[in-house]
Chain A
Amino acid sequence: MTEALAPVLDADSQVVIVGGSVAGAAVASTLRREGFEGTVKLVSAEDELPYDRPPLSKAVLTGDMDESRLTLPLPDDVETILGVEATCLDSERRLVQLANGESLSYDGLAITTGVRPRPLPVGHDLDGVHLLRTLADARALRRDFQDAKRLVVIGGGLIGCEVAASARKLGLEVVITEVAPLPMLRQFGDKLAVRVMGMHERQGVAILTEATVDRLEATDGRVRAVVLTDGRTLPADVVLVSIGSLPNIEWLAGSGVALGDGVETDTTCLAAPNIVAAGDVAKWLHPVLGQRIRIEHRTNAAEQGMAAARTLLGRPETFAPTPYFWTDQYDAKISVFGAIPAAAEPVLVDGAFEERFVTEFHEAGQVVGVLGWNSQRELVKRRTRIGHPV
């Protein structure tokens, strides 16, 4: 795959974007900003125009943010096809088949179909058992919170921890079950994960670690309890399953687009001639790491959407962002620039570990990541340390 395969689009060309979230909207906006005058069609499986997802587990769930504020900018002259899934890609004839029977031809295609939450093998037919990805999911969860007393969160990752904090704010009793020894271990490493665990426990959340769910129990079709493999039974009116996600790539089977754990692309987000991928679904070849990675964070979706749009327009650039993600839990805002390698120890560079602080993470004599805990301004100043010698 080479950059020369990127197409040259003109005012008679049609770009189809499949997936109507952050990355899709960023592709559309960037195409226009970069001067593309042809037709842009954006297809989304959801009924809503592109909206922002991070508040769904936080301010939207607690009722502190109105849904109308989630809307993302989208150029007026982008044609949207909402509530329709793409079912098939014919890359030879350059056609995207839709579930409504229509098919769309394209000169350039952007794949931004994102991910969906990984479900439990059983239990999702019960009332009160939720996944959280879309606005519709958040509405349903919020509705169930209103009459609920006890929430069990299965999976203590980023979404699980945020929903736990939101539910405590609403007065629910909350238990988190996590298969790992600590919550958010993969994201933060053990020292900071211990800090996260302590924060939740002080807020009255019980975190059961190294705990595996065996089954859900129900009464009259509504969940009543979560049963662990060690026999413990956790009463629940509401259950959130937040155990990771799966890339939405099934519709691309047999299309010739390389698929692994996502849509595989080169360093410029090009997946195949005339086809780019961006956002949670894209597994791009990271030019520095030398391997394909997939990042499921808000900021990456926007940045990668911009990069993918430029590649479609025949102006490819190597995509090498400084990743960023944040989480809000109770009164803590925790943010990370760069990477936190599994083996790296946090090195305190500002503040106090028990209060607010900034830590660096080092690998092979270089700064590879910085984390701020209620220290946004200091963190942003230190972002430029990434890539420099310790």
Chain B
Amino acid sequence: MVNVMRVELDQVKCVASGQCVFSAPEVFDQRDEDGVAFLLTEQPDDAQLDAVRNAEALCPAAAIRLLTGSEG
């Protein structure tokens, strides 16, 4: 059994604070033109779990959702 993590990002709600990029730079980046965040990967590996949880908790627009489950 492996843990599966999936990240959802609502770009309409995003206020471009960059808190997620700061918390989890391997998962999030920001667009050059307006700073709105985008995902570098929707399914980060387990090593990123804590970083993504921090990004979810610190997002000032509550635009990040972390979904976890098990497979296999």
Contacts and interface: CB of A to CB of B under 8 A. Distances in A.
A324 B19 contact: yes
Contacts of B43: none
Contact of B62 (A72, A303, A375, A376): A72
Given A326-B15, A333-B16, A380-B18, A52 B65 contact: no
Contact of A377 (B10, B13, B30, B56): B30
A302 interface: yes
B17 A335 contact: yes
Interface residues of A, number: 27
A374 B33 CA distance: 9
A324 B60 contact: yes
Contacts, number: 67
A357 to B, nearest CB: 14
A33 B53 contact: yes
| B: interface residue count bin | 20 to 34
A380 B22 contact: yes
Contacts of A73: 56, 62, 65
B21 interface: yes
B57 A379 contact: no
B16 A54 contact: no
Interface in A332-390: 333, 335, 374-377, 379-380, 383
Interface in B3-44: 10, 12-13, 15-19, 21-22, 30-32, 34-36
User: Which secondary structure characterizes the binding site on chain A?
Assistant: helix
A54 B61 contact: yes
B60 to A, nearest CB: 5
A245 to B, nearest CB: 19
B22 A302 contact: no
A299 interface: yes
A376 B57 contact: no
B18 A383 contact: yes
Nearest to B15: A326
Nearest to A378: B35
Contact of B35 (A72, A298, A306, A380): A380
A376 B18 contact: yes
A61 interface: no
Given A69-B13, A326-B15, A333-B16, A380 B60 contact: no
B58 interface: yes
Contacts of A335: 16-17
26 contacts: A52-B61, A54-B15, A54-B60, A54-B61, A65-B13, A69-B10, A69-B13, A73-B56, A299-B17, A299-B58, A324-B19, A324-B60, A326-B17, A326-B60, A328-B15, A333-B16, A333-B34, A335-B16, A374-B34, A375-B35, A376-B17, A376-B34, A376-B36, A377-B30, A380-B18, A383-B22
Interface of B: 10, 12-13, 15-19, 21-22, 30-32, 34-36, 53, 56-58, 60-62, 65
Given A306-B57, A379-B18, 6 more contacts: A54-B60, A72-B62, A302-B60, A324-B17, A333-B34, A380-B21
Closest 4 CB pairs of A and B: A376-B35, A380-B18, A376-B16, A299-B60
